[in-house]
Amino acid sequence: MLTEHEKLLAGQEYDYRDPEIQKLIQKARSTASKINQETDVKQRQALINDLFDQVGDNLALMSPFQVNYGKHVKIGNDVLINTNCNFQDSNLIAIGDRVLIGPDVKFYCGEHALDARKRFGVREDGTRYAITTTRPIHVGNDVWIGGNATILAGVTIGNNVIIAAGAVVNKDVPDNCVVGGVPARVIKGLPKIEE
């Protein structure tokens, strides 16, 4: 039988109030709070390395930022995460190399049922709980995500992509393009980057 955390990572329905999940969330929020306040560069880097599953070289993480778990986030090399970003990493968030993430960008891995009757479950003791499922988010290399953009569950963003400020990305984005709008759509192509 899977734990609620294992169900979460498998994209199955899980109970968000599960004690193991709550413990992971509280640890991540505590560590993020310390990072947001830490001024010593070495201490801050040690906290960042402890929080995230993988951290590449030259990460610039601007405070404040928020994260649910931290341990579900993988960050490549030469990444900038600007102020007020929110990582709802109830599943994997994988960020490639040379990625610029503008201020107020949100990554949301969690989802709820469209049918309101399926949004809540009932425990054996009669208490109700919100039913959530999750899907991972993948961001390729050489991506610029403009301020206040929202990336939704299950999205894969290709390489050499610009996400316009304020866009809501609810489906996969191909390589070499600019997308924008609500919901985001391809606006124009970009020249392919030669390796």
Catalytic residues: 112
Q: Which long-range contacts (CB under 8 A, 24 or more apart) does 120-128 make?
A: 121/13, 121/15, 123/15
Alpha carbons 76 and 74: distance in angstroms, whole number: 7
Q: How many CA atoms lie within 13 A of 125 on its CB side?
A: 2
Alpha carbons 133 and 156: distance in angstroms, whole number: 17
- Tell me how far CA of residue 179 lies from CA of 39, 94, 138, 161, 193, in angstroms: 36, 19, 16, 8, 17
| Dihedral sign of CA atoms 49, 55, 59, 60 in order | negative
Alpha carbons 169 and 180: distance in angstroms, whole number: 8
- Tell me how far CA of residue 103 lies from CA of 106, 163, 164, 177, 191, in angstroms: 9, 13, 12, 21, 26
